């Protein structure tokens, strides 16, 4: 988000996502294709802010020229190659719940819940091994 290109794409898609549905509600007869079902389909899509913002953001991000760094391709390739785990760990901090994540990391059981930020897959795998070992002991 340090790039003016990315800020312009974000701003444009958010603004259009707010303005197009507002305009469609003020002008309900703006879409007339001659087929009632297609009119309804376009009306639903054009009155949904998430659809407008997402589609426009996707389109602009893939058509507006930008460097490899601006588009995030360099970091993505580094994370796929496995060379830099720091990139992955840094990006996971973006999903922290404000004021709560630090507290959650202190309690071990939260590391086992996949939808929470402190989740660690290796902790879950270790627990699974212990459970399987205990089950095998009981079965013998």
Q: What is the pLDDT of residues 88-113, one digit of tens each?
A: 555 566 667 777 777 877 887 877 77
Residues 92 and 59 in one domain: no
pLDDT tens-digit readout, 110-134: 777 777 766 666 665 666 777 777 7
Residues 27 and 52 in one domain: yes
Question: In sequence order, what DSSP letters do the residues of 23-76 get, joined into one string?
Answer: HHHH-TTS---S-HHHHHHHHHHHT-HHHHHHHHHHHHHHHS---HHHHTHHHH
Question: Are 60 and 12 contacting, i.e. CB atoms less than 8 angstroms apart?
Answer: yes
Which residue segment(s) compose the domain that 6 sits in? 1-66
CA distance 116 to 138: 32
Residues 60 and 1 in one domain: yes
Question: Are 49 and 15 contacting, i.e. CB atoms less than 8 angstroms apart?
Answer: no
End position of a domain, from candidates 66, 96, 112 = 66
Q: Which pLDDT belongs to residue 91?
A: 59
């Amino acid at each position: 988000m340090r790039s003016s290109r990315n800020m312009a794409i974000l701003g444009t898609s958010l603004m259009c996502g707010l303005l197009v549905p507002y305009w469609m509600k003020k002008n309900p007869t703006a879409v007339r294709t001659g087929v009632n079902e297609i009119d309804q389909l376009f009306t639903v899509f054009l009155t949904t802010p998430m659809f407008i913002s997402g589609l426009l953001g996707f389109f602009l991000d893939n058509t507006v020229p930008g460097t490899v760094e601006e588009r995030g391709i360099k970091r993505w390739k580094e994370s796929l190659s496995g060379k830099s785990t720091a990139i992955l760990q840094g990006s996971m901090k973006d999903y922290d719940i404000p004021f709560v994540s630090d507290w959650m990391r202190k309690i071990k059981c939260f590391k086992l819940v996949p939808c929470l930020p402190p989740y660690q897959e290796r902790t879950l795998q270790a627990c699974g091994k212990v459970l399987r070992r205990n089950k095998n002991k009981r079965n013998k």
